[in-house]
Structure 1
Amino acid sequence: MRKIFFISASIIEYDGRLRELIEVSKSIGETYYLTRSNSVTPIDEHHIIFTSRGPSTYINFLLFCFKTARKIGKFDVIWADNRKALIPSFLIARLRKHPILIQDARELYMFGDVRHFIGKIGCLVEIMLNRKFDIIICANKERAEIMKRYYHLRMMPLVFENVRKLEFDGTVDDAAFEERYQMSKDKARWKIISTSGCDLDRGIEQLVEAVGRLGEEYSLYIFGNSSMKQEDFIERKIMEIEYKNIHIFGPLKQDELKYAIGMCDIGVVNYHAKDMNNKYCASGKLYEFIFEGVPVITTENPSLKALCERFEVGISCNDYQSAIRKLTEEYEYYQGKAREMSKKISVKSNRAGLKHHVVKALETIERDRSGKYPEVV
């Protein structure tokens, strides 16, 4: 059995794609996975938690990766989750007997799209190291084609769609949840949920204005991480215009998020189109809504628009107010289509597809490195 060292700097409780990738990795081989976590208790005996915080966090992360690699001992594959894991994965591989390198490239930020210095460094790291990895995975076909051209890759990246379904883990306290969010006490006919926080670039200001103008029959629940500056801006706007139907909260764990979505009628999936990463978004949020039978309103990004048009699970339109009105007027139709799609897609099949392609690629690389080929009869 292959031994895999999976490296991620993400918080596992809040990262659905990370959890899915780890499950695929476990199905391929014995997987030791290093992640951040809100808990001090590992999920299982192979889970290693990185806990450092502060200005030297990334340096500490690098050192922790090296220390963990020594403890694990020999392994056949290093799987890097996103750009922060690229450097430790590559350096550890250089110090070992060249384990096979896999990278999940979940972001698609181009050097010219990024304004801040740290982001540009990250782009340069990807430009230098992406071609050094044996297998690259991304989130949709559009991204795969762009990456192959931009990074001059030898092979087309594998595609692993963000098909994910929220699960209850048994820790959600219904009474405590209701006491905090009071969603069941909301008398609005239509409850709308957005899980992108107060990100102004994604059009949250326009969404707040649209729902506010629609009146008391509509409520908007905003969950997710936000900067203090952006959250303060939206809260001031709500107070100034005296909207009573907008509610802002922080991020939720997956069982809480599943509960919240189940209490709502419409899910909003919103991205901007100012850079390639957002323009060609591969949203797992959309699938989270669909699996709960909740139709969606999305921005007009190509991948979101194509999915809405193909499966008719919602409306792709940047005019939130008209989209909400149209969807509620034909709600039973769109809800039926969302439920229909939820029966056609499968998290298990999505995992199995990636496993098949990764194993096939691993076998080819292992055969090429060993020089052993099957005999031709």
Structure 2
Amino acid sequence: MNYFKYLIFLIKSLILSDSDVYYGHDYYSLPILYLLTRLKKNKKIIYDAHELLLDFPNKKQTRREKFFIFFEKLVINKVVCIAASEDRAKIMKDFYHLDRLPIVVENISLLKDSGQKFHSKIIDAIRSFKKKSSFLYGYTGSLSEERNICKFITDIIDNSADSVLIVGDGRV
């Protein structure tokens, strides 16, 4: 419910705004972007699509996914779109029949050397992984159902002798 309170507050603020450019960061911004396409027709509106929200017939969608997929379909051809990788941009162009490829801005964070060293237990765990398998799969980031992490891990466990190292948090 807080999301909808936030939307109402934001809509009121945006109606009064006279900005030249409006930027929506990720799919949570889609309902706002939709309203902006209706209210601010002469302004530049940018949608930064970090995730692929594709409505495949054989995949059961949650209500939340359906909600955002609905708005992405309404918005995607009316805004400047940014995709997180070249592959995602091509998928989006084909799936949504876009006139042009979305702008690609890699959203991969490169860590600067902070001078900090890994704890020796972490180094030992990674070395153990390396010794036990011919290949080590690594995953860092949010652990959520939308990213199919459980399927990814299950496939590796069921079909290989390889190891999986996961660094992140979230609900799976």
Q: TM-score, normalised by structure 2?
A: 0.68
SS in 1 for 2:71: helix
Output aligned runs, 1:354-373, within 5 Å: none
Instruction: Report runs of 4+ in structure 1 exceeding 6 Å deviation.
Output: none
Output aligned runs, 1:1-377, within 5 Å: 56-69=1-14, 73-96=17-40, 98-112=42-56, 113-133=59-79, 135-167=80-112, 183-185=119-121, 188=124, 190=127, 194-196=139-141, 197=143, 199-203=149-153, 206=157, 210-211=162-163, 222-227=166-171, 230=172
Asked whether the 8 Å contact 2:37–2:75 carries over to 1, the reply is no
Quickly say closer, same or farther: Cα 1:121–1:191, change in 2 above 3 A: same
Q: Aligned equivalents of 1:185 and 1:126: distance in 2?
A: 44
Quickly say closer, same or farther: Cα 1:97–1:159, change in 2 above 3 A: closer
> Aligned AA for 1:79?
Y
Quickly say closer, same or farther: Cα 1:58–1:184, change in 2 above 3 A: same
Which of the two has higher C-alpha Rg?
A: 1
> RMSD of the TM alignment (CA)?
3.5
Q: Aligned equivalents of 2:72 and 2:12: distance in 1?
A: 24
Quickly say closer, same or farther: Cα 1:201–1:163, change in 2 above 3 A: same
Identity, in percent, stands at: 27
> Aligned AA for 1:89?
L
Aligned to 1:21: none
Quickly say closer, same or farther: Cα 1:118–1:75, change in 2 above 3 A: same
Q: TM-score, normalised by structure 1?
A: 0.34
Aligned length: 153
Residue 131 of structure 1: how far off its partner (Å): 1.0
SS in 2 for 1:88: helix
SS in 2 for 1:131: coil
Quickly say closer, same or farther: Cα 1:188–1:169, change in 2 above 3 A: closer
Q: Aligned equivalents of 2:90 and 2:139: distance in 1?
A: 30
Residue 114 of structure 1: how far off its partner (Å): 4.3
Residue 148 of structure 1: how far off its partner (Å): 1.7
Residue 151 of structure 1: how far off its partner (Å): 1.2
Residue 67 of structure 1: how far off its partner (Å): 4.2
Residue 59 of structure 1: how far off its partner (Å): 0.4
> Aligned AA for 1:64?
F
Residue 163 of structure 1: how far off its partner (Å): 3.9
SS in 1 for 2:124: coil
Q: Aligned equivalents of 1:143 and 1:194: distance in 2?
A: 19
Q: Aligned equivalents of 1:162 and 1:126: distance in 2?
A: 19
Unaligned 5+ segments in structure 1 are 1-55, 213-219, 231-377
Residue 69 of structure 1: how far off its partner (Å): 3.0
Residue 68 of structure 1: how far off its partner (Å): 4.0
Q: Aligned equivalents of 2:43 and 2:31: distance in 1?
A: 15
Larger fraction in helix: 1
Q: Aligned equivalents of 1:64 and 1:187: distance in 2?
A: 47
